[in-house]
Amino acid sequence: MTAKRIRFLKEFLSFSGIEPDRLRLEWVSSAEATRFVEVITDFIDQVKELGPSPLKAALAAQDLN
Amino acid sequence: MKETIIEKVKDLFEDSRIEAFLGLKEENGQIGPYLFTDPKDLEGFSLGDKEWPGDKRYPLSKILIALAQKYPENRFGILVRGCDERALNELFKWNQLNEEHVVMVGFPCPQELAEACECPKPYPESLVVGEKVKGIKSKKVEVILNMGMEGRLKYWTERFSRCIKCYGCRNVCPVCFCNECELANDDLIPSGEIPPENPIFHLVRAAHMAGRCIDCGLCEEACPVGIPLRTLYKKVADIVDSEFGYRPGYQKDQKSPFNILGERPED
Ligand code: SF4
Ligand code: SF4
């Protein structure tokens, strides 16, 4: 159910023009510290690669109009 | 069409199946919702077409919630188009109305209105008159998809930046019935800020409409600044359908997937 909701959100974000890769769902148990670090590091890299959110620029463009 | 409906409503009164009928009435050149309690009043009964088909639609099902709360023992007849029936089906499921106390009197929309609405089902099951009109698939969603990521963001943020936070979209919505609205929560959406946080305000409302919006388009009609809300919610409905196999307002026995917690995920 949660997985479906996240898929819903990703497609919804995409329709709004926000990269769906900025959202990720992972299951990590409290006993999996190493995996937790891996997942977060990987996600940080992914978001860094995407760069700053395009939202800021889009909103700034609105203010100019 | 109108005459047949009036006859049908008179029969319902005569057979004591209803104590009142919620429909539309034209008075002093204006068309508005009207609760008929006496069949004699049915003069002036209207289907909501003034200048063009369906230009005077109202969220009758929402008005019915208020009436049913006040008169829980009474049975009401109600005038329905396809969208009104879908709204009622949802409201029954969400326990906002008791199906046993509601008699729907349905009529189809003309093809012209169905096309303007891009309505997937421009007629109710409870048709008492007229023909089933062909459903229309939305093209507007496609147009936005074709804009690409950047184009879509530009499109929506520009539209949302016009919002004057009048809450018209929420207030007119037949399936917006929460007692406490997150969009009116001062901590989330501070009062006095216009436009409300872009795009959060609108994306929150859209996400809340998942599994609920029955695609009547009243929100878009009510919006004073012309934000294409219906197109946004149509896409939401499409995603819900493809992910959960659920379209609000259609299946009577299937509950919204957002109303259940679901099963344990498999490892
Ligand atoms: S189209 Fe708009 S008013 Fe109608 S059910 Fe959906 S959100 Fe509510
Ligand atoms: S009706 Fe339009 S202007 Fe009013 S709150 Fe809704 S989106 Fe904003």
**Token pair belonging to B11:** 């029969």
Answer with the residue of higher pLDDT: B219 or B193. Answer: B219
Ligand 1, pocket-test mutation among B119, B121, B167, B173, most atoms within 8 A of CB: B173
Which of A3, A8, A17 is closest, CB to CB, to B156? Answer: A17
- Model confidence pLDDT, tens digit, residues B122-141: 999 999 999 899 999 989 99
The share of chain B scoring above pLDDT 90, in percent, equals 81
Of all protein residues, the one whose alpha carbon is nearest to atom 4 of ligand 2 is B166
Ligand with smallest separation from the Cα of B227? 2
Asked if the Cβ–Cβ distance from B157 to A58 is below 8 Å, we say yes
Structure tokens, B123: 């007629």
Write the ipTM. 0.89
| Confidence (pLDDT) at B71 | 96
- A18 CB neighbours in chain B (<8 A) are 153
Confidence (pLDDT) at B259: 73
pLDDT in tens, B184-196: 998 888 888 899 9
Cα–Cα distance, B180 to B159 (Å, whole number): 26
Q: Is B202 in the pocket of ligand 1 (CB under 6 A)?
A: no
How long, in residues, is chain A?
65
B161 interface with A at CB cutoff 8 Å: yes
Nearest to residue B237, comparing CAs of B263, B216, B265? B216
Q: What is the CA radius of gyration of chain A?
A: 15
Q: What is the pTM of this model?
A: 0.90
Strands B20-27 and B76-80: parallel
